[in-house]
A and B are shown apart, each in its own frame.
Chain A
Amino acid sequence: MPKQQHLRKILVLGSGPIVIGQAAEFDYAGTQACLALKEEGCEVVLLNNNPATVMTDEQCADRVYFEPLTVEVLTKIIEKERPDGLLASVGGQTGLNLALAAYNEGIFEQYNVQLLGTSMQSIQQGEDRELFRALMHDINEPVPESEIVSTVDEAVQFANVVGFPIIVRPAYTLGGAGGGHAYSKEQLKEIVAGGLAASPITQCLIEQSIAGFKEIEYEVMRDDNDTCITICNMENIDPVGVHTGDSIVVAPSQTLSDHDYQMLRSASIKVIRALGIVGGCNIQFALDPSSNQYYLIEVNPRVSRSSALASKATGYPIARIAAKLGVGYHLHELKNPVTAHTYASFEPALDYVIVKFPRWPFDKFKDGNRELGTQMKATGEVMAIERNLQAGLQKAVRSLEIPVDGLKVASIEAIATDELIQRIEIADDQRFFTLLELLRRNVTIDTLHEQTGIDHFYLQHFKRLIELEQSAESLEFEGVDRDTLYELKKSGFTDVALAKALNTTEQNITQLRERYDLYPSYQQVDTCAGEFMAETPYYYSTWGTKGDHHLTEKPSVLIVGSGPIRIGQGIEFDYCSVSAAHSLKRMGYETIMINNNPETVSTDYETADKLYFEPLTAEDVIHVAKRENVQGVLLQLGGQTGVKLTEALEKAGIPLYGATFDVIDQLEDRGRFYELMQTLDIPHIPGTTGMNAADTEMKASEIGYPVLLRPSYVIGGEGMAIFTSEAELKAYLNDSLNEVAYPILIDRYVAGKELEVDVVTDGEQCFIPGIFEHVEKAGVHSGDSMAVTPPYSIPDSLKETIVSYTTKIAKHVTFVGLFNIQFVYENNTLYVIEINPRASRTVPIFAKITNIDLVDCAVQLLLGKPFEACVPSVGLLEEPSFYSVKAPVFSTEKLPDVDMLLSAEMKSTGETLSFGSTVEEAFQQAFAWKDDQTPKIYTEKSGSIFVDAGDAQQSLIRTDLEKLEQSGFTIVQGSSEQFNEWITTEDARLYVSIPDLGSKHYKDQREKAKRNRIQLTTHSETLHALVQGIDFKERHSLSLDEWQKKDLQRT
């Protein structure tokens, strides 16, 4: 059946800011869906307040609302736009929950809006545990013993019958938030209480644990005519018990016989038919490793992280096809866009193996609880494609960009065997490396299997890696013959790792390899294992094969992507990479993307002309650059991942666009940076470099406390901290957990107003799209502070100084393209804190607000176009008449033990963008970004607010507290005992927890507030912004272009 003609205008719901459990995969799905709908001639209206996304670009949607994801706003938009259809299945749990809430309020019926794809009834049947279980009973599919509870007592009664361990899964939560494994009654009570609070419908599923079973997933699609296909199955290396988002996953399954595979495939199809899904669906099974007993664990009746992974793993674009099924097509009517010859109604066959490895935030959250369970903790993931599992695992590990030396982690090597054996019993983020270390120490596979439940098949492959590593270590470099080197390369060892093992230099290994004529070949991901010719140039590297690679005549440019989503380097750099690909295509270049993040738009094979799914180490990037004979490489759009490669690529003779290593060094090296600032007569904060602990202590005393410590070449403030005394500093430097790397930068801490700009320059002239003024003072990481543009509290003269300094820097530094400058203003002095020679977090935001494609400007300049031809104006762009607020969003409920006190080290995972005619309005919209996140002080008229504040803070918050009192709230101050009492009261609205600088007071209280889901504010400036928004109640919902039009009318 072709498209339903009455669907002319479609409203698409996005997933909002990135949080753990809901990351870039929904930008990928949303972008695909929007483009698919536009291809069908639909007008696309989008609601999504995440500005860092590709889907909120004008190419994807005809109109974009950066508005709160609330039923109230959704209703207003529906009333105004009158869409024919609504697509909710690409907006993750957030989009689905929002649609569900609106549906339950009768909005769909009232405005005659058709939900595309799966019906609401089916969605509820998949999402609501009880309905789902009843359905499974009806169709005779097994589900584990379980019960829905809405009180803690019910949970305890269930446990008395079935025994422990028990899994707790709250209904309708992201990444299983609030769930966990309970091994005792006490644990059960605690987890269930938290889970009930996390669930928007106050329901938890508690079930008998099937930990230790194999965890297998199927991605299934169904059309309206009941044709069903499975796109891919996946096997978690970690058995049931670890959230699939936190598991190392392979595709296709490796340890399932055809009988097992087809048994679960048939069950998947039975389930998707029973649910009546139209579109995509993810089905998770637990399979007994020693019988054919299986259980259904979970069904996601929408596209998901796993469907993004399956799409990248197979080449089959699930979200795109699902959108087309949603408007009426049947599977066999749609072409398979990868082959362009065959149809969408088939099941991909793989001739390679996929490894997905999660990226966890524990490099940032040293205090975080690293144990993995049913609650997802990873912020992102990488995917590797190879012809064998060893090489796939190695590629995945090096794509993570974590401090691993080959396959070794120094901190694990230092621990005794017994302790390591004990440690692996409960999964944590380091378990893979711990297992490798134990294999190095000759601990048997049987022991490891007993401790972890991981299948012998995988442990045997891990062991093979260690055998290869040890065989390399036993060799002399001089004696390495071609076959030996080939075997090692084929198993995924990098030149760097081999240099270390063979005790020689990387250069020597590379030269030897080149002498033996050993280079990777590139094979196509074609959905059909070579059976048909495929048009899509989507490649991965392997060794010892002929490959499928085709060179094209056109001059080509390589774009280095940003790897896995991690705190500090998020989806914004993917946006920049994608924009660059579009820009280069328009200029007539062949665009080549290299990246390893399966969640993103950049790794959609339709984004660039060619896609290389590869790790982003120098060796991997150089191989591709040379193979493609690229005209140049763009490094400044992939965050720090790209910039870090500058030196190695330069040495390898690869032509680069943008900053040379010397320029980067000039900005990163303290001495050279201060010299530069002095030459330009720009004030800089006094600072120096510490070479070791003693040196750092001495130099910190010379500069004078408080000081700010930060490692060079990092993003997201990793290892950044403020110290108010020598004792604090000493304790920090001597704590091995902190892994302090020298040389380290030491700055005087200036508690001033932070400001930042993004700049486009050709090295002579520059263009500044705007200035962001940070709400919180310096000391809160710029990624965690709220920021407002245009600035709302600084004099025009200061703006002029900012422009003047920026212009001076742009002219003096040999740099073309995009860079970012952070300033701090204190006592009438404007200091430059740092210059980042790359795109930044705020580039997509400025691009959206100003409607100027900044990345396009930069790319054109980098490729040699004159400034006048590609940049709209010189200097600072005229300020708009409306305010835009960028606000951080945290995933802290997923990360117990992480203190929510904002500091120099970044903690947020995502951000929202909101607009207002006044700054107060924009603040209000920023805080009330989602129904269940809207501050209680905005929705309630009375209640109590508990205040803990340091001596120096009292005067700063007095006015705001008075305002809250005037608004009807009671202010409570008191001891921690009184706090404990307050936190359980019904009318607890807000916890104000503002210790003095450098102090971490009230940490326990913050932790409790977090667990009880009480809103928390930790800085006086944030409190002020929050209180400023309190009076604002009603407004119209305006799309971005309406804000811009309003602005034009003014001028």
Chain B
Amino acid sequence: MKGYIVLENGEVFTGKIIGGNESGTYGEAVFFTGMTGYQEVATDPSYRGQIVIFTYPLIGNYGIQDYTSQSEEWQANALVIGECSEEGYHYLSKKSVMNEANNMNVPIIVDVDTRALVKCLREQGAMGAVITTDLDGIDWSNYQPVDEYPFVKEVSTKQIETYGAGETHIALYDFGHKRAMIQELTQLGAKVSVVPFDTPYETIQHLDVDGVLFSNGPGNPKQLEHELHIYRKVASAYPTFAICLGHQLLALAFGADTKKLKFGHRGANQPVLEIATQKVDMTAQNHGFVVDDETIGHSEMQVTHVNINDGSIEGLKHEELPLFTVQYHPEASPGPKDSHPLFHQFFASIEKKKEVTIHA
């Protein structure tokens, strides 16, 4: 059906809508520049509340596969695609993207001039958008901006879930984690307890964990301002690693501030420089907010990694504690696995702590 994606600034792009409902689908329009990984993107809870535009024009070629989704549901509100393959051509393909979108009740708009759309967002910044067949029926009060709406509460686990049976016990604060994180941890020999975003320190103590991972998640970290004191306490007590939203939360908890990027980093080719080694990793990223580098001086954190393109903060470590955080996704899925060694680094910091404890 002929339809439109309309931006908050009034720009209208035409296409064909598959799925969706009459009242339109609203969300923050963001674009993803990776050329593969549409299934992981669609199911990544960090995309909650967003309409994802794929810059690569041919999507769906290898279908929808088992063990690839990053969560149970499709998380993005809608997808915007140049051309969507009617079938999946891959030995692991179980169904087509279109079928799955239909099952998940997520609309897709195809045959869109995605490049013009991306250029618009690049120039004017991420903004609200609606996918609709009815240009006259648009009502922006239906739009829940990610800055204001508490999406983390929606996507975080409601009770503690445990994966794996390894020796090292890790608590994963769930703000909307990706399954790949659990896979990485369990493969390295961990037992992982996924805990709700507002789990108190005492619960963590009771779980008797060896380390804590703060996960990724959707939205503005400042929405969780009331929980920061917990995160600070937990991160001060255990070897800690934090990714994406988790990184922003710990920066806030230890005295830095965060701000919104104009249009965010979403893709598989963000170059990150490790200051100590001067080596560059290609990283998978998906974030609209960032730690404000001007506020680091007042915090307890130090910058370890920066983005080559815009100089923004990509990694922090605590001055004293075994605590380090990254803005990007070492679990990839989708994207390059260059920074996979960070998980080893996390395990090493846990081992070190254990040794110290034993000797003490």
The interface stretch among B156-164, B330-338, B351-359 is B330-338
For chain B, residues 188 to 208, give those with C-beta under 8 angstroms from any C-beta of chain A: none
Q: Is B58 within 8 A of A342, CB to CB?
A: no
Q: Smallest Cβ distance from A368 to chain B, in angstroms?
A: 34
Contact A531 B62 (CB under 8 A): no
* Cross-chain contact B57 with A353 (CB below 8 angstroms): yes
Q: Mark B37-49, 1 if CB is under 8 A from A, else 0.
A: 1011000000000
11 contacts between A and B (CB under 8 A): A229-B282, A253-B36, A255-B62, A345-B308, A346-B270, A349-B56, A456-B89, A529-B33, A530-B115, A532-B122, A545-B113
A532 and B309 within 8 A (CB): yes
CB within 8 Å of B: which A253-271 residues: 253-262, 265-266, 269
A291 at the interface (CB under 8 A from B): yes
How long is the Cα–Cα vector from A546 to B57 in the complex, in angstroms? 15
Annotate A779-804 by CB proximity to B: 1 below 8 A, 0 otherwise: 00000000000000000000000000
Chain B 91-126 interface residues, beta-carbon cutoff 8 Å to A: 91-92, 113-116, 118-119, 122
**Interface residue? B35 (CB, 8 A):** yes
Q: Are B35 and A349 in contact (CB under 8 A)?
A: yes
> Which residues from chain B contact A331 at a C-beta distance below 8 Å?
280
Whole-angstrom distance between the alpha carbons of A262 and B268 in the complex? 10
Q: Output the residue of A253, A332, A389, A523 with the most chain B CB within 10 A.
A: A332
Query: Contact check: which of B57, B267, B332, B335 meets A531 at CB < 8 Å?
Result: B267
Known: A349-B55, A530-B55. 9 other contacts (CB 8 A): A259-B68, A332-B271, A332-B273, A346-B308, A388-B83, A529-B118, A530-B33, A545-B116, A546-B113
Which residues of the partner chain B approach A257 to less than 8 Å between Cβ atoms?
36, 39, 62, 65, 68, 90, 92
Question: Taking the complex as formed, is A352 at the interface, i.e. its CB lies under 8 A from any CB of chain B?
Answer: yes
Nearest-CB distance from B93 to chain A (Å)?
9
- A258, B333: Cβ atoms closer than 8 Å: yes
Chain A nearest CB from B113 CB (Å) reads 4
| A347-B282 in contact given A257-B65, A258-B335, A531-B267 (Cβ < 8 Å) | yes
Contact between B57 and A352, CB atoms less than 8 A apart: yes
B-contact bits for A525-540, CB 8 A (1 contact / 0 none) = 0001111110000000
Using a CB-CB cutoff of 8 Å, which residues 229-278 of chain A contact chain B? 229-230, 252-262, 265-266, 269
Indicate whether A351 sits within 8 Å of B269 (C-beta atoms), given known contacts A255-B90, A332-B308, A388-B83.
no
In the complex the two chains form, what is the Cα distance from A352 to B332 in whole Å? 23
Contact A544:B113 (CB < 8 A) given known A258-B37, A262-B337, A460-B87: yes
Minimum CB–CB distance for A293 against chain B, Å: 11
Query: Which of A348, A387, A533 touches B269 (beta carbons < 8 Å)?
Result: A348
Residues of A within 8 A of B58 (CB): 254, 353, 388-389
Tell me the smallest distance from the CB of B102 to a CB of chain A, in Å: 21
Q: Give the distance to chain B from A234, nearest Cβ to Cβ, in Å.
A: 12
Residues 348-378 of A contacting B (Cβ, < 8 Å): 348-353
Q: Which of A382-412 contact B (CB under 8 A)?
A: 387-389
- Is A226 on the interface with B (CB-CB < 8 A)? yes
A289 on interface, CB distance cutoff 8 Å: yes
Q: Decide yes or no whether A548 CB sits under 8 A from chain B.
A: yes
Minimum Cβ distance to chain A for residue B171 (Å): 28
B16 CB, nearest partner CB in chain A, Å:
12
CB distance from A1036 to the nearest CB of B (A): 47
B61 in contact with A254 (CB, 8 Å): yes
Residues of the A chain whose Cβ atoms lie less than 8 Å from the Cβ of B90? 255, 257
Nearest CB on A from B224, distance (A)? 28
B33 CB contact (under 8 Å) in A255, A269, A349: A349
B280 touches A345 (CB 8 A): yes
Q: B176 near A: Cβ within 8 Å? A: no
Which residues of B (57-103) have their CB < 8 Å from a CB of A? 57-58, 61-62, 65, 68, 82-83, 85, 87, 89-92
Q: Find out whether the CB atom of A388 lies under 8 angstroms from the CB atom of B57.
A: yes
Q: How far is the CA of A777 from the CA of B33 in the complex (A)?
A: 60
A431 to B185, CA, bound (A): 49
Q: Which residues of B sit under 8 angstroms from A187, Cβ to Cβ?
A: none
Does any Cβ of B come within 8 Å of A290's Cβ? Answer: yes
User: Are the CB atoms of A548 and B271 closer together than 8 Å?
Assistant: no
Q: How many A-B residue pairs have CB under 8 A?
A: 151
A533 adjacent to B122 (CB under 8 Å): yes
Q: Which 7 A-B pairs have the closest CB atoms?
A: A457-B89, A258-B37, A529-B55, A258-B334, A258-B36, A347-B269, A530-B118
Cβ–Cβ contact B336 & A350, under 8 A: no
Closest Cβ neighbor of A226 among chain B residues: B279
Q: Roughly how many angstroms separate A269 CA and B122 CA in the complex, as a whole number?
A: 31
Q: Are B89 and A455 in contact (CB under 8 A)?
A: yes
Shortest beta-carbon distance from A1020 to chain B in Å: 59
What chain B residues lie within 8 Å of A531 (beta carbons)?
31, 33, 55, 118, 122, 267
Q: Is B141 an interface residue (CB 8 A)?
A: no
The answer to whether B35 and A530 have CB atoms under 8 Å apart is no
- B residues in contact with A504, CB < 8 Å: none
C-alpha spacing A229/B281, complex, angstroms: 8
Does B34 lie at the interface of the complex (its beta carbon under 8 Å from any beta carbon of A)? yes
Residues from chain A with a CB closer than 8 A to the CB of B115 are 351, 523, 529-530, 545-546, 548
B residues near A546, Cβ cutoff 8 Å: 113, 115-116
Tell me the bound Cα distance from A332 to B273 in angstroms: 8
**Are A343's CB and B309's CB within 8 A?**
yes
Question: CB-CB < 8 A to A341: which residues of B?
Answer: 309
Interface presence of B278 (CB below 8 A): yes
Min C-beta distance of B81 to chain A, whole Å: 12
Asked if B278 contacts A351 (CB within 8 A), the reply is no
Contacts of A151 in B (CB 8 A): none
Q: Inside 8 A of B87's CB, which chain A residues have their CB? A: 460
In the complex, per-residue mask of B319-343: 1 if CB is within 8 Å of any chain A CB, else 0:
0000000000000111111100000
Q: What separation, in Å, do the CA atoms of A255 and B55 have in the docked complex? A: 17
- Measured CA separation A260–B334 after assembly (Å): 11
Considering the complex, which residues of chain A in the window 313-353 have a beta carbon less than 8 Å from any beta carbon of chain B? 330-332, 341-343, 345-353
List B contacts of A226 (CB < 8 A).
Answer: 279
Closest to A251 in B: B35
Chain B residues with CB under 8 A of A350: 35, 56
Tell me if A225 is interfacial: C-beta within 8 Å of chain B.
Answer: yes
When distances are taken between beta carbons in the complex, the residues of chain B under 8 Å from A289 are 91
Selected from B36, B119, B277, the residue in CB contact (under 8 A) with A261 is B36
B83 and A346 contacting across the interface, CB-CB below 8 Å: no
State in angstroms the CA–CA spacing of A343 and B269 once bound together.
12
A342 x B279 contact (CB < 8 A): no
What is the distance, in angstroms, from A228's C-beta to the closest C-beta of chain B?
A: 8
**Given A348-B269, A529-B55: A256 and B62 interface contact (C-beta under 8 Å):** yes
Residues of B contacting A387 with CB < 8 Å? 57, 82-83
- Chain B, residues 248-272, CB within 8 Å of chain A (1/0): the string is 0000000000000000000111110
Closest residue on chain B to residue A352 by CB atoms: B57
Q: Which residues of A contact B116 (CB under 8 A)?
A: 545-546
In the complex, the answer to whether B308 meets A343 with C-beta atoms within 8 Å is: yes
Chain A residues in 8 Å Cβ range of B279: 225-227
**Inter-subunit contact B68/A345 (CB<8 Å):** no
Which residue of chain A lies nearest to B61 when distances are taken between CB atoms in the complex?
A: A254
- Answer whether A528 and B33 are a contact pair too, CB < 8 Å, given A255-B90, A262-B332: yes
Q: Report B276-311 CB contacts with A as 1/0, cut-off 8 Å.
A: 011110100000000000000000000000001100
Give the Cβ gap from B3 to chain A, nearest Cβ, in Å.
Answer: 15
Cα A548 to Cα B334 with chains together (Å): 29
Shortest distance in angstroms between A237's beta carbon and chain B's nearest beta carbon? 13
With A and B bound together, what is the CA distance between A348 and B116 in angstroms?
Answer: 19
Cross-chain contact A346 with B309 (CB below 8 angstroms): yes
How far in angstroms is the closest Cβ of chain A from B183? 12
Which residues of chain B have C-beta atoms less than 8 A from A252's C-beta?
A: 35-36, 56
Q: CA of A347 to CA of B39 in the docked complex: distance in angstroms?
A: 21
What residues on B are CB-neighbors of A266 within 8 Å? 336-337
From A345, A350, A389, residue with most partner B Cβ within 10 Å? A345
Write the nearest CB–CB distance from A941 to chain B, whole angstroms.
Answer: 58
Chain B, residue nearest A288 (CB): B91
Closest Cβ neighbor of A341 among chain B residues: B309
In the complex, A577 Cα to B297 Cα: how many Å? Answer: 56
Q: Which B residues are CB-close (under 8 A) to A455?
A: 89
